[in-house]
Structure 1
Amino acid sequence: MMRWLQIIVFSTLSLGLSSALVSFAVADDDQDAARAALARGEIRPLKDMLEIIDDVLPGSNVIKVEFDRDDGFYIYELKVIDAKGVIREVEIDAKTGNILDIEVDD
């Protein structure tokens, strides 16, 4: 019985660790893709996106940033807490700085 418990605990921990490593690898890929696109002049820097967020949602705080490619376009996805404490997800075209979508996070 104790042996089975050890196997289950070890398996669970192994799966959790491998999932975490995959997440870190994806995050590194996002950073590498963003740096390369910025160097090629295909996107605007993150600081520009933060200024756009401040203009559109004054007093908000960015709590998470993701960088994705969707249908051939680079997109910054930012999660923010606005001045009223509402968590919102904002999608911005990384090349133009145009706001594509603002949603309340569920």
Structure 2
Amino acid sequence: MTAYRRTLAPLALALGVLAAGAPQADESDHELARQALQQGQVLPLRQVLDKVEREYQGQVLKIEFERDDGRYLYEIRLLQADGRMAKLKVDAVDGRVLKIKRKGEH
């Protein structure tokens, strides 16, 4: 398997386009993410998810990939161990969590 395919295979699986019960993402998200990853503009999704799951102790339910004001972002919905839902905006370039919004918080 080429390095390109080894890198993109986990991305496709992590985006949940084909895997039942995996986080869901929009097909256009997948294509934009694939292109950005191929061009070396973003971190692999698996790397970002590992960090988020470790630091925020939860299960990823949904992932969106977008470009906002020229910045690539992963928007990740996470069901945390305490049962709360968290929505994280993560910089896709360096993996920094830019914003966290938990359901029920203002």
**SS at structure 2 position matched to 1:66:** strand
Q: Which residue of 2 is the match for residue 42 of structure 1?
A: 41
Q: Which residue of 2 aligns with 1:72?
A: 70
CA contact (8 A) 2:90 2:96 kept: yes
Q: Residues 1-106 of structure 1: matches in 2 within 5 Å?
A: 27-58=26-57, 60-105=58-103
The structure with more helix, counted as a fraction of residues: 1
Q: Within 2, Cα distance between the matches of 1:37 and 1:105?
A: 30
What secondary structure is seen at the aligned counterpart in 2 of 1:102? Answer: strand
Give unmatched runs, 5+ long, in structure 2: 1-24
Counterpart CA distance in 2 for 1:53 and 1:103 is 14
Deviation readout 1:19-52 (Å, 9 max, x if unpaired): xxxxxxx922111110000000000011011111
| CA distance in 2 between partners of 1:105 and 1:46 (Å) | 24
TM-score normalised to the size of structure 2? Answer: 0.71
Question: What is the RMSD computed on CA atoms of the aligned residues?
Answer: 1.4
Gaps of 5+ in 1: 1-25
Provide the C-alpha distance between the structure 2 equivalents of 1:69 and 1:105, rounded to a whole number of angstroms: 24
Moved over 4 A (4+): none
TM-score (norm 1): 0.71
- The structure whose Rg is larger is 1
